[in-house]
Amino acid sequence: MRVGTLFRVLALVGFSAIAMGVKAQDYPSRPVRILVGFAAGGGVDTVARLYAAKLQEVLNAPIVVENKPGARNCLQHCP
CATH number at residue 26: 3.40.190.150
Distance CA 65, CA 61 (A): 13
In a domain, 78, yes or no: no
Provide the domain limits for residue 45.
Answer: 3-73
pLDDT confidence of residue 53: 94
Q: Helices (DSSP H) in 20-78: which residue ranges?
A: 43-59
Residue 79 has pLDDT above 70, yes or no: no
pLDDT, tens digit (0-9, with 9 covering 90-100), for 3-58: 678 778 777 777 776 666 665 566 778 899 998 888 889 898 999 999 999 999 98
pTM above 0.75, yes or no: no
Q: How many domains does the chain have?
A: 1
In a domain, 27, yes or no: yes
